[in-house]
A and B are shown apart, each in its own frame.
Chain A
Amino acid sequence: QVQLVQSGAEVKKPGASVKVSCKVSGYTVIELSMHWVRQAPGKGLEWMGGFDTEDDETIYAPKFQGRVTMTEDTTTDTAYMELSSLRSEDTAVYYCATGTPAFDYWGQGTLVTVSS
């Protein structure tokens, strides 16, 4: 059984960066295809990017290309999502998610608030 436990809430100023972690248990992080999905307050789900098993690489949604970096630490079985140049519109709950073919495992979510 996969468990995903995310880091705690963050408050950032506009222009800063945030790095959210997702600790994997039950499997190793390299056995999973990890993705990140965000949800602005009162809004829908927005896929940010994730590992594409067919191309064996991480792909990002065009909207976030150049501003997001997704990495993994195999020594601690932790996935990370770093988003830079934050603006108020990035205020959202950020989720890590995994599964094949769809996302049957989700982290609990991390609220990132961007405010001056």
Chain B
Amino acid sequence: DIVMTQSPDSLAVSLGERATINCKSSQSVLYSSTNKNYLAWYQQKPGQPPKLLIYWASTRESGVPDRFSGSGSGTDFTLTISSLQAEDVAVYYCQQYYSTITFGQGTRLEI
């Protein structure tokens, strides 16, 4: 299985500031024939199911605010929230779907 490791485990950011969450995979999730990274990001708030934010490492899901962006390739990826809003407090997970699906352990984002 591909192991996904997120850093940090928790993060406190002031309102309006930038938040950066990292995700590293134990092997590349870049599929050469499609040149796509099989990597997604989710946001989960208490008592709710996860919400898809980003797929193909950098494609924003419809309706997701443009302050959320994804970057990276191969084994190293980043989710950036450009200007933190109060409603962004949540746990964030990366997920690879290159092979049998695995998730990162989650990063708790607080203000």
A-side interface residues toward B, CB under 8 Å? 35, 37, 44-47, 50, 59, 61-62, 95, 97, 99, 101-104, 106-109
Interface of B is mostly: loop
A106 and B49 within 8 A (CB): yes
* A103 to B, closest residue via Cβ: B52
Question: For residues 1 through 30 of chain B, which have their beta carbon under 8 Å from a beta carbon of chain A?
Answer: 1
* Residues from chain A with Cβ under 8 Å of B40 in the complex: 101-103
B97 and A101 within 8 A (CB): yes
Contact-residue size bin, chain B (C-beta under 8 Å from the other chain): 20 to 34
B-side interface residues toward A, CB under 8 Å? 1, 38, 40, 42, 44, 49-52, 55-56, 61, 93, 95, 97, 100-106
B49 and A109 within 8 A (CB): yes
Q: In the docked arrangement, what's the CA distance between A46 and B109, Å? A: 20
B93 and A45 within 8 A (CB): yes
Q: A101-B55, A102-B40 are in contact. Are A35 and B1 (CB under 8 A)?
A: no
Given A35-B101, A45-B50: 12 more A-B contacts, CB < 8 Å: A44-B104, A44-B105, A44-B106, A46-B103, A62-B1, A95-B49, A101-B56, A103-B42, A103-B50, A104-B52, A104-B61, A106-B50
Q: In the docked arrangement, what's the CA distance between A6 and B106, Å? A: 24
